[in-house]
């Protein structure tokens, strides 16, 4: 159900196109917002449990369904959310008040805009625009403004350090990510996400699904370059130098507490969702099923898309709890001297492959 | 570099900070990300140990020594009683000697596990910390079984130990060692040979050997720079000359000799050597009474003694002056972490802030020992 | 080299530097503090002595009638011999030259002895308190130390007198 469909529906009921537009957009935005909130709650719980199992611990326990002690600890996230909402809202006295208050919401807006074009299924997508991929990449850079604002407005040397590092990191890693996402565009000839996924239907040699990642070795490599650059863009370990706990306390988020911090957290998980969604749509066939030909109805499509995203988010969490973090100059070295040459080589390689093998 | 010269920024790391291993304030003058000068400010944990020691009796000093280096209490006790026994010229029974060596080496393993785990945490690897702490808990369980305390034992007394070993101690200890040795493989796979970890620690914070000796750096820090010096082999005390163990030194495997990785690697190898010593000691553990050589009254002759022993952090020395009364005139503790911290300024100028924390973690300091 | 030989070598090079003191042990030697920097440099650089490790610097207050003393423990890694040097200071104006340029650990050790006893090490480039706060009054480890009443408005507790050791 897209916004276009809703606009048509409402324009039959109301005369003014303006009112129907506003109504359609608001109504389509609500499930998105609910999705973001649900994603954050589930992701936080999963992260805590996954990290606990990897570290040979158990994680949050008790508060099972039915509110008795049990091995689930599901209500812990709700308890945390309530705590964050009722916390005192402190702003450092020498901080720049307007920027301080605005910064979390700018990051939130960047992530929210990205989710709007993800194709959840062949019929479920909020907005189906022709330049889907380009739009996500562009809108993903809005977050940098928020981070730099947060670091500057906190009036704290540590936050400033964190914000500067983060800005440098995100801007640098957009380049290999952008170069790698060109591969699916080259191979499918379109930037529209739905058409890209439809292009990947069918199979190779009858067994493997015709996803872009399996098509040729260069696109296989491009997927990994894209995924690692995406991890770097969302400031996750091993690239979490801006929020390095042991060095800068909490980096650019140091002075934020309570609800504002919850918004940062929400945006981080929403960002992870968006980049995983883009990777799944561009390289892993979106809502197509891994067994070519079977289980291809729109409801199954929703299921496959969500499982791919969940798997990629799980891999990101796995990275976080296994690897130490890279230092700032090593991070830059990896981006500029390793990833960008490989990404350019990939573009060249895919072009030659298409030309010769077709 | 470049035409624009910015102002130098003065940052404060600490006193409350996740990575300073205690309450330490580092005043760092930086130019962008490069550090030009570090001034450590100490004294936040100063508890006047030396002044207290002048007002209590010789036995009552032992719990104070526990609390100085709280991660290696057995070794702190050990240093003090070895110095006192040299001053008073007492012979110790064989069983006590073996018990002391076993406890000191177990504590060395526990202290090194914590140092290595926390170092991984500083670099950003969260999981090895928990694995190493899980194994350290088993050692602390053994200590609790023997003397009732997990961290501050007051175990080694002048002339003996406070509690005899429980009946099945040897069985429990051997079980632990059999479980523990394969775990070292796991730590190496997860952290030591990880490419990112090696990039963060190799070639960083090199301490040349002459600088190390001049700054009084000792223990694994000195051995990481290639100097083969261990008090247990070179000035043996207790019964260390009966055991067969190697002294690992740094070899510049992945970078320059004397960098952070060498110090980390020396600690990892020392853990394996301690396991060797404990196995040999457990095999030859004699029977007997632990209280037979304990003097009833502690009144040392007039004089002074300076004796050093090998604690997990380096050369721990005690200078004790006695004037014939039951209470010491002066007890000075020469702590190895104090000397290790003093070379931080020289070693870390020219590096970045992330590297300063990597270097500080590799020196393995404990503020309780520095401030006393 | 035995301690006797070490003492001989030092007194050969620097006349009248070694003072005989019956109360010291065999491994200890009392040295006149006037030319201390040159003696220390000689002890480090002389190939027969070669004391490259300064193990410990301890300040000692020998009681009301006696002087303040600084004890230096030296060790040579090459020859494996040790010596302890004792330097006495006049109580009213305790001073001796600093050896922090010769052994770099002397920097912090001398700062600690200055902090606790008030012995001034002339020539030290940065002599200030290390364990106590910078504006603390008095020399804590001296036997006649009376703590200050309050510090920045906080009342300073006093050590209580013990009565007997039994």
Give domain limits for chain A: 1-86, 92-356
Distance CA C141, CA C57 (A): 14
Closest CA in chain B for residue A319: B125
- Nearest alpha carbon to residue A129 among A192, A204, A217: A192
Two tokens, residue B200: 């963060």
- Give pLDDT tens digits for A206-245: 777 888 888 888 888 999 999 999 888 888 867 777 666 5
- Give pLDDT tens digits for A295-306: 778 888 888 899
**Nearest CA of chain B to the CA of C34: how many Å?**
24
Distance CA C130, CA C67 (A): 23
State which of A11-15, A26-30, A337-341 shows the largest mean pLDDT.
A337-341
Contacting residues of B for C128, CB less than 8 Å apart: none
Query: Across the interface, which of B121, B127, B191 has its CB nearest the CB of A246?
Result: B121
- Give pLDDT tens digits for B308-363: 999 999 999 999 999 888 899 999 999 999 999 999 988 988 888 878 888 988 99
Q: Which uninterrupted H or E stretch holds C135? A: none
Q: Are the Cβ atoms of B130 and A55 closer than 8 angstroms?
A: yes
Closest CA in chain B for residue C84: B306
- Nearest alpha carbon to residue A101 among A265, A271, A256: A256
pLDDT attached to residue C164? 46
State which of A5-19, A334-348, B115-129, C29-43 shows the largest mean pLDDT.
A334-348
Closest CA in chain A for residue B134: A56
Q: Is residue A85 very low, low, confident or very high in pLDDT (cuts 50, 70, 90)?
A: confident
Is residue B76 a contact partner of residue B68, using CB atoms and an 8 Å limit? Answer: yes
Q: Domains in chain B, ordered, with CATH?
A: 58-347+355-371 (1.10.645.10)
pLDDT attached to residue B18? 67
Question: Cα dist. A323→A330, A335, A340, B114, B220 in Å?
Answer: 14, 17, 22, 19, 25
pLDDT of residue A88 exceeding 60: yes
Q: Is A301 helix (H, G, I), strand (E, B) or coil?
A: helix
**Nearest CA of chain B to the CA of A146: how many Å?**
22
Query: Across the interface, which of A56, A157, A330 has its CB nearest the CB of B9?
Result: A157
Going by the DSSP 8-state scheme, the letter that residue A92 receives in this structure is -
Using CB atoms, which chains have 3+ pairs under 8 A with A?
Answer: B
pLDDT of residue A327 exceeding 90: no
The half-sphere exposure of A239 on its side-chain side, counting CA atoms within 13 A, is 24
pLDDT of residue A246 exceeding 50: no
CATH number of the domain at C3-131, please?
3.30.460.80
Two tokens, residue B162: 């406070």
Question: Cα dist. A249→A146, A159, A323, B351 in Å?
Answer: 19, 9, 19, 20
Contacting residues of B for A246, CB less than 8 Å apart: 18-19, 121-124, 357
Global pTM exceeds 0.80: yes
**Nearest CA of chain A to the CA of B33: how many Å?**
9
Of the two residues C148 and C163, the one the predictor is more confident about is C148
- Nearest alpha carbon to residue B82 among B235, B222, B191: B235
Q: What ipTM does the predicted assembly reach?
A: 0.90
Distance CA B41, CA A261 (A): 33
Between positions 208 and 267 of B, the ones with CB within 8 A of C are 211, 213-216, 227, 229, 234
- List of residues 6+ apart from B350 with CB closer than 8 A: B34, B35, B36
pLDDT of residue B292 exceeding 50: yes
Sign of CA dihedral B346, B347, B350, B354: negative
Q: Are the Cβ atoms of B319 and C105 closer than 8 angstroms?
A: no
Phi/psi of residue B367, nearest 5 degrees: -70, -25
Question: Cα dist. B26→B157, B218, B346, C113 in Å?
Answer: 37, 22, 14, 22
Per-position b or e across C36-58, b if 16+ CB within 10 A of its CB? bbebbebbbeeeebebbbbbbbb
- Give pLDDT tens digits for C16-52: 788 887 888 888 888 888 888 888 898 888 888 888 8
**Nearest CA of chain A to the CA of B26: how many Å?**
13
- Give pLDDT tens digits for B218-270: 899 999 998 899 999 988 988 898 999 999 988 877 888 888 999 999 999 99
- Nearest alpha carbon to residue A265 among A65, A102, A104, A133: A104
Segment A25-37 mean pLDDT = 84
């Amino acid at each position: 159900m897209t916004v276009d469909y809703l606009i048509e529906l409402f324009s039959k009921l109301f005369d003014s196109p303006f009112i129907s537009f506003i109504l359609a957009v608001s109504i389509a935005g609500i499930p998105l917002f609910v999705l973001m909130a649900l994603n954050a709650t589930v992701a936080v719980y999963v992260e805590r449990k996954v990290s606990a199992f990897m570290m040979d611990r158990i994680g949050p326990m008790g508060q099972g369904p039915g509110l008795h002690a049990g091995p689930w600890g599901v209500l812990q996230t709700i308890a945390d959310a309530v705590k964050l909402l009722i916390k005192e809202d402190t702003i450092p006295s020498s901080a720049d008040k307007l920027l301080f208050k605005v910064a979390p919401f700018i990051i939130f807006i960047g992530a929210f805009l990205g989710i709007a074009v993800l194709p959840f299924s062949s019929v479920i997508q909020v907005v189906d625009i022709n330049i889907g991929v380009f739009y996500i990449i562009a809108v993903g850079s809005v977050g940098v403004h928020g981070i730099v604002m947060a670091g500057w407005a906190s009036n704290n040397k540590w936050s400033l350090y964190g914000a500067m590092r983060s800005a440098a990191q995100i801007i640098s890693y957009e380049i290999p990510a952008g170069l790698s996402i060109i591969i699916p565009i080259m191979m499918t000839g379109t930037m529209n996400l739905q058409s890209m996924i439809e292009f990947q239907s069918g199979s190779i040699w009858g067994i493997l699904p015709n996803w872009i990642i399996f098509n040729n070795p260069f696109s296989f490599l491009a997927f990994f370059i894209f995924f690692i650059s995406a991890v770097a863009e969302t400031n996750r370990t091993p690239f979490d130098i801006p929020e390095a706990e042991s060095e800068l306390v909490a980096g650019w988020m140091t002075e934020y507490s309570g609800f504002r911090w919850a918004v940062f957290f929400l945006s981080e998980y929403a960002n992870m969702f968006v980049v995983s969604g883009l990777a799944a749509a561009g390289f892993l066939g979106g809502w197509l099923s891994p067994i070519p030909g079977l289980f291809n109805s729109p409801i199954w499509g929703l299921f496959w898309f969500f499982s791919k995203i969940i798997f990629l988010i799980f891999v990101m969490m796995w990275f976080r709890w296994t690897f130490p973090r890279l230092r700032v100059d090593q991070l830059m070295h990896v981006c500029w001297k390793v990833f960008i040459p490989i990404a350019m080589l990939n573009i060249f390689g895919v072009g030659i492959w298409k030309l010769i093998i077709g | 570099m470049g035409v624009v010269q910015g102002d130098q920024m003065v940052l404060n790391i600490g006193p409350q900070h996740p990575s300073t291993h205690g309450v330490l304030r580092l005043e760092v003058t930086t130019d962008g990300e490069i550090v030009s000068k570090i001034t450590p400010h100490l004294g936040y944990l100063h508890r006047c140990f030396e002044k207290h020691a002048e007002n209590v009796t010789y036995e009552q000093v032992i719990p104070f020594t526990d609390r100085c280096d709280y991660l290696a209490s057995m070794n702190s006790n050990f240093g003090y009683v070895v110095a006192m026994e040299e001053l008073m010229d007492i012979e110790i029974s064989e069983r006590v000697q073996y018990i002391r060596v076993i406890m000191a080496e177990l504590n060395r393993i526990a202290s090194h596990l914590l140092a290595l785990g926390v170092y991984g945490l500083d670099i950003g690897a969260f999981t090895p910390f928990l694995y190493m702490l899980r194994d350290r808990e088993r050692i602390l369980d053994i200590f609790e079984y023997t003397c009732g305390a997990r961290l501050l034992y007051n175990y080694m007394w002048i002339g003996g130990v406070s509690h005899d070993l429980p009946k099945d101690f040897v069985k429990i200890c051997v079980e632990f060692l059999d479980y523990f040795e394969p775990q070292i493989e796991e730590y190496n796979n997860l952290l030591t040979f990880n490419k990112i970890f090696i990039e963060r620690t190799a070639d960083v914070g090199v301490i040349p050997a002459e600088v190390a000796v001049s700054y009084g750096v000792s223990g694994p820090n000195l051995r990481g720079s290639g100097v083969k010096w261990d008090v247990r082999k070179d000035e043996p005390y207790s019964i260390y000359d009966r055991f067969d163990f190697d002294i690992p030194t740094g070899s510049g495997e992945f970078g320059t000799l004397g960098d952070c990785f060498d110090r980390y690697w020396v600690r990892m190898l020392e853990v394996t050597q301690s396991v060797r010593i404990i196995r040999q000691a457990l095999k030859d553990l004699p029977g007997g009474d632990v209280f037979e050589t304990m003097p009833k009254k502690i009144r040392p002759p007039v004089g002074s003694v300076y004796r050093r022993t090998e604690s997990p952090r380096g050369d721990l020395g005690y200078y004790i002056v006695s004037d014939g009364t039951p209470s010491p005139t002066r007890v000075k503790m020469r702590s190895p972490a104090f000397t290790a911290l003093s070379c931080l300024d020289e070693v870390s100028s020219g590096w970045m802030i992330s590297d300063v924390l990597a270097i500080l973690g590799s020196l393995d300091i404990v503020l309780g020992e520095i401030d006393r | 080299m035995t301690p006797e030989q070490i003492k001989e070598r030092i007194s050969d090079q620097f006349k009248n530097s070694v003072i005989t003191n019956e109360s010291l042990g065999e491994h200890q030697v009392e040295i006149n503090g006037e030319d201390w920097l040159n003696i220390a440099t000689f002890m480090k650089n002389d190939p027969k002595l070669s004391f490259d490790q300064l193990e410990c610097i301890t300040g000692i207050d020998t009681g009301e009638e006696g002087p303040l003393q600084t004890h230096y423990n030296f060790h040579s890694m090459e020859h494996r011999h040790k010596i302890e040097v004792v330097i006495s200071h006049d109580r009213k104006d305790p001073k001796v030259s600093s050896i922090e340029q010769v052994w770099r650990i002397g920097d912090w050790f001398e700062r600690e002895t200055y902090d606790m006893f008030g012995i001034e090490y002339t020539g030290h480039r940065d002599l200030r308190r290390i364990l106590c706060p910078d504006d603390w009054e008095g020399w804590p480890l001296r036997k006649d130390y009376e703590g200050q009443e309050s510090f920045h408005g906080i009342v300073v507790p006093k050590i209580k007198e013990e009565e007997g050791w039994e």
